[in-house]
Amino acid sequence: MGKCSSCGEWDSLVLQTSEQSTLTPNAAANFAAKVNELGGESEAVKILEIDAPSIGRMTTGINELDRVLGGGLVLGSVVLVGGDPGIGKSTLMMQAAIGAAREGNRVLYATSEESAYQCKLRAERLLATEEVGENGLDGLFVLADTDLARITAQVTDIRPQLLVVDSIQMVYRNDMESAPGSVSQIRRCCLELVYLARQLQMPVMIVGHVTKDGQLAGPRVLEHLVDVVLNFEGDRHYALRGLRGAKNRFGTTLEIGLFEMGQNGLQEVVDAAAFLDPDAPPRAGAVVCPAMHGSRCLLIETQALVTQGTIGQVRRRASGLDGNRFTMLTAVLEQHANLKLADQDIYSSTVGGLKLTEPAVDLALCLAMIGAYNNEVLQAGVCAIGEVGLGGELRMVPQIEQRVAQASRRGYKQILVPITQAEVAGQYATGIASIVDLDSFFVKSSQFSTPKAGLSDGEKMGIIKCV
């Protein structure tokens, strides 16, 4: 053991793993030197002597995207955009590239999944009847390549103000043995893109794939390396899309951008009630809640379905809502609202595929479950805002004035709010102290049969035995 089969020497064998690359010893140093030649700084300077650029952010021409970014792309930042297949990531990146080019910036769009001709077809579709060459897009360059070295070489030649890479999973270093999309390849390519962005003060936008669980594919360190992580979410069966920030070193992660997928790409949505169906009739188990997403108030419909289950095997399912909080509210209703939910299957969801996690949706969800259980609908023009405590009491929520004002502008004349905030919420606010005070806001639904509450436990057991 330890004898070399070639030279016959002992103790000269060196263990190498398959993850080790065949990089030359000076590969990283050569890359850094090449970037420094382009104008990068590698020496420490006093913070008071740092010259900040006159324009710290670059606008993309998409207001909803700039809103989520905090006002635009910060120079030298790296933005990672993830989402399900077919959700519209490449479309969003192409629209951002077109918008930045129209602002007079040189943009390099590096695609590893499409040909240059396919990118032109996408651009023509986004520009509708307009001609690509007649829209101020002389500064937009397209590169169909997967080799990071060739992408870097084009950055050296073109000197763009914005680099778009679609996608990071397909880009590779040819001096590494591992396959494209592997952990080592993704980590190395992302590191070089981050270093390139920092040294050249050039924003970089990266598209990342997600796994079947909705998590960004690749190593977790990928999210730590970049400055901004954006999740493009929504139901593929719906036209509406939401762009939400999961990480942002230069702004808040509370903002959300709304888009609607159409024939000509993604269209910005500014209507606060975009997720509501204006033609939908009043129905049991449906309640509207003014939910805050950053500085924007959206009217989101919460729904609940309560149906007879099997004792000991009841189901609790929440879609678009916090599952743990949904289970807690079910227990609160059973304890304080005299609802017999132990043998009931309960399902809850939000309309439009948008996720709601803030506690202010508690009251609307409780009203939806009460209405679904009793087959009753809310009175016309009623919506609800409030956090529900374990004792059934209503607690205060932030930005109550903005929520009530937005709901009243959309035609809601009675907004249920915590009683402690009724005076400051406005004239359309109705104070509620506890969930036991909610029965008076319901009317009997004609679309359903007799309420489930009319059956006693013994009658329910008798039905089960007969079956």
242: Cβ contacts below 8 Å, ≥ 6 apart: 232, 233, 234, 256, 257, 258, 259, 353, 354
Which ranges of 109-182 would DSSP assign to H, the alpha helix?
116-126, 148-158
Could you tell me the domains of the chain?
A: 30-37+55-268 (3.40.50.300), 286-463 (3.30.230.10)
Residue type for position 256: I
Strands 140-144, 73-74: pairing kind: unpaired
The CA distances from residue 350 to 183, 285, 382, 408, in Å, are 36, 11, 17, 21
pLDDT of residue 178: 86
pLDDT of residue 256: 87
Tell me if 394 sits within 8 A of 416, measured CB to CB. no
User: How many Å is the maximal CA-CA distance in the chain?
Assistant: 93
3-class state of residue 40 by DSSP: coil
Distances (CA, A) of 91 to 74, 120, 261, 299, 390: 21, 12, 10, 27, 45
Which amino acid does the sequence have at 8?
G
Q: Residue 126 corresponds to which tokens in the numbers above? A: 């986004």
- Cα→Cα distances 58→73, 134, 230, 452, Å: 5, 22, 17, 58
pLDDT score for 293: 82
Q: What tokens were used for 311?
A: 């004792």
Give the per-residue pLDDT at 296: 84
Buried b (16+ CB within 10 A) or exposed e, 131-169: eeeeeebebbbbbebeebeebbebbeeeebbbbbbbbbb
**Are the C-beta atoms of residues 80 and 208 closer than 8 Å to each other?**
yes
How far apart are alpha carbons 417 and 302 in whole angstroms? Answer: 16
Segments in the chain below pLDDT 70: 1-3, 5-8, 11-42, 52-55, 128-135, 212-214, 217-219, 236, 272, 278, 445-467
Closest CA to 429 of 420, 437, 438: 420
CA 355, CA 205: separation in Å to the nearest integer? 25
Q: Which two tokens stand for residue 6?
A: 């070639």
Q: What is the pLDDT of residue 133?
A: 55
